[in-house]
Structure 1
């Protein structure tokens, strides 16, 4: 009896009598037919090099939906004469895995290896992931896992150490156009679309080849006596929802893009990523919090008002709610992007924290300690303290660091924004300190 999960023995034309989706009909038969992913499939790429050396290792294919993960895995098995077995982590339990491993063991005894393709491998828990390790190590299976999530966060270190991560990229508009041309050839007719509508359809797919073929299949079935315009297309097709997981990899990618665009003083890019997150369903309160963080981390005292602007816009959002309140946050985005940038205090804070950890047991100098009891006075607490208001220029120049600790310099304000003025003050007090201590 054939293995329940083994697709290597099935007749690819078994379903020929029934309707086959366009995506299935256009599935490449060899790696050279795969659209996109040349960075890994070319002779210089990691997969191309492995095949040329006839030494394929276990792999984790990481990339967005519809970029060819399943197809590449299937073709790798064909190129290396391995039986192709496909399972999904969503529908496969421990008893099923045991059957798969036992079938692979028997197959190996009969002289054939097994490429086990695990879709959505990040859905397996830690114990299930550990279950693959002995079978990978003894050669029973060659594992190819597919995931849309960052393997660093979702897969065990032990599993990652035994597999090479291959990053697949979303398909470009050029790749999608080539796929559309192949589809038209398979269908035997051109799509009933004007040039602008065709471009709009490619954009709707958002880098997902499977999504594009589904759109093409819909468009090809339309009965129309003229090529459709962009507006006519948009009435018949809904734009594919942007890929965004508020708790996953895309969440962190987009907030990183927003933060770096603000830091890079690019208001247009900052607004774009801000809106991408809103369109994906991000909580505006999370964005308000992160904007406030940007104000204190990347602008700081170069523009002290930036912090107040963020808090005011955050409060305005809380009062207005959505969708009107998002405009207040957009104001904060633009203000932060155009504000002078400084991480002077941020750098000083981290350096001071490091110094505090290293010298955390040292006492303050006695002259700045209060002496509420006679004993404290007798041991020198408060002795020699100079009251700054009584000193010339209101500055005594005394040392406030622990005795014996070399005076460090943490805060070095740059010549930007309001910190130009603070720089003058730092230099002023530094000169006075030298003068007072020298006297």
Structure 2
């Protein structure tokens, strides 16, 4: 009877299985790597390190499918180091200790180790500390790969001993070159029209591995005529956009939305709003941030902006998705086209600084109430001028602490409704000066 767990049988099946296209097309030298010239070019960081034989520990930061593992493997080849690969998802401290011990033995025999750690951000801070002595004494040359921002996810000590290399998503031109290589490897063109080829590149969304997986699917189809973009779309699903609702995508895209609104570009603002909604962002979070934009960047140049945002928020709460999202889009459009002023926001920040500086300085006594005889004896309320009884409804009295020189916090701009507020401010300033000199 055949043993169901016979290892020789399973190994034979693995050996007979065709190698995936992504593995067959893996570059054999750094010069074959598609894209990433910002780190690999002759004048780029990695290029100069290799030319000067000064390669040090590295952190590769970038999205999936852009060549992090491939480049690390080729670096080991270029520098005659033993390539060891682990994943932080499946590796614990006992496994790490074995890796370090093996690297020490190699070093004693005159052979260095390039340790490639995939998803390095998955290691906690204590685990990351475990790499430090082995990096410092040269036991390993660490190359970590992460899709998360190293500034937030990696130990400062690890970062200080490494150089961060930012790898970017592949461009359409990069993907087109990769597609041509893939067709050369399978020895035939894909059965696609030009518009379908373009659509296939867009489906990959900058991920080379995804493109090669798609090529394998399409190359297996038996079709009589080349498929157009519509026919391709019926057979393949577009790759979901990369969006981490608690990570870099979240913060980068809300920053892009905010700055597009501030820059009075409604088209860009709508685009980034759509990107976030498509990525699954909570519309309530967007409603809150949009209202914040109205307060921070439009302010009193258009007091209605806040109202529009709050109304849109309420509409979303009542209608839900997807109808309520249109209200958010309308609010974003309104904010982008509204006059801009951060005068109230800037004034508030200056007032907070002044409040911190002046500490517990009391208000001047003339604006304090005197509900008791003792307080009246102390001068509370003495000399207070009731503004409604004053000429022009304005007394011009001082309302700051008596030891504090009068500051200017609110500096309205000559835009939108703040033009009117500036006129009023100037009017009261002149009256105040007149009362003081009189």
> Which structure 2 residues correspond to residues 129-148 of structure 1 after superposition, within 5 A?
129-148=128-147
| Structure 1 residue 402 corresponds to structure 2 residue 401 | yes
> Where in structure 1 do 4 or more consecutive aligned residues deviate above 4 Å?
14-17
| Structure 1 residue 216 corresponds to structure 2 residue 215 | yes
> Which structure 2 residues correspond to residues 248-287 of structure 1 after superposition, within 5 A?
248-287=247-286
Q: Distance in 2 between matches of 1:322 and 1:109?
A: 63
Q: Which residue pairs with 1:305 in the alignment?
A: 304
Q: CA deviation at 1:297?
A: 0.6
Q: CA deviation at 1:349?
A: 0.5
Q: CA deviation at 1:18?
A: 3.1
Query: Alpha carbon RMSD of aligned pairs, Å?
Result: 1.1
Q: Which residue pairs with 1:295 in the alignment?
A: 294
Q: CA deviation at 1:383?
A: 1.3
Q: Distance in 1 between matches of 2:258 and 2:215?
A: 37
Q: Distance in 1 between matches of 2:14 and 2:174?
A: 28
| Structure 1 residue 415 corresponds to structure 2 residue 398 | no
Q: Distance in 1 between matches of 2:390 and 2:35?
A: 74
Q: Which residue pairs with 1:170 in the alignment?
A: 169
Q: Distance in 2 between matches of 1:242 and 1:32?
A: 29
| Structure 1 residue 375 corresponds to structure 2 residue 383 | no
Q: CA deviation at 1:404?
A: 2.1
Q: CA deviation at 1:234?
A: 0.2
Q: Give the match's secondary structure for 1:412.
A: coil
Provide Cα deviations, 1:155-185, integer angstroms capped at 9, x if missing partner.
1111111111110011000000000011111
Provide Cα deviations, 1:195-219, integer angstroms capped at 9, x if missing partner.
1000000001000000011111111
Q: Which residue pairs with 1:42 in the alignment?
A: 41
Give TM-score, length-normalised by structure 1. 0.96
Q: CA deviation at 1:16?
A: 6.6
Q: Distance in 2 between matches of 1:217 and 1:208?
A: 15
| Structure 1 residue 101 corresponds to structure 2 residue 97 | no
Q: CA deviation at 1:375?
A: 1.7
Q: Which residue pairs with 1:63 in the alignment?
A: 62
Q: CA deviation at 1:77?
A: 0.6
Q: Which residue pairs with 1:316 in the alignment?
A: 315
Provide Cα deviations, 1:26-72, integer angstroms capped at 9, x if missing partner.
00001011000001101111101110110111000000000000001
Which runs of no fewer than 5 residues in structure 2 stay unpaired?
1-12
Provide Cα deviations, 1:401-423, integer angstroms capped at 9, x if missing partner.
11121111000100111111001
Q: Distance in 1 between matches of 2:242 and 2:19?
A: 27
Aligned length: 426
Q: Distance in 2 between matches of 1:174 and 1:355?
A: 55
Q: Which residue pairs with 1:3 in the alignment?
A: none
| Structure 1 residue 156 corresponds to structure 2 residue 148 | no
Q: Which residue pairs with 2:232 in the alignment?
A: 233
Q: CA deviation at 1:385?
A: 1.2
Q: Which residue pairs with 2:426 in the alignment?
A: 427
Q: CA deviation at 1:363?
A: 1.1
Q: Distance in 2 between matches of 1:16 and 1:393?
A: 95
Q: Distance in 2 between matches of 1:341 and 1:217?
A: 52
Q: Distance in 2 between matches of 1:408 and 1:343?
A: 18
Q: Distance in 2 between matches of 1:271 and 1:300?
A: 21
Q: Which residue pairs with 2:4 in the alignment?
A: none
Q: Distance in 2 between matches of 1:15 and 1:187?
A: 20
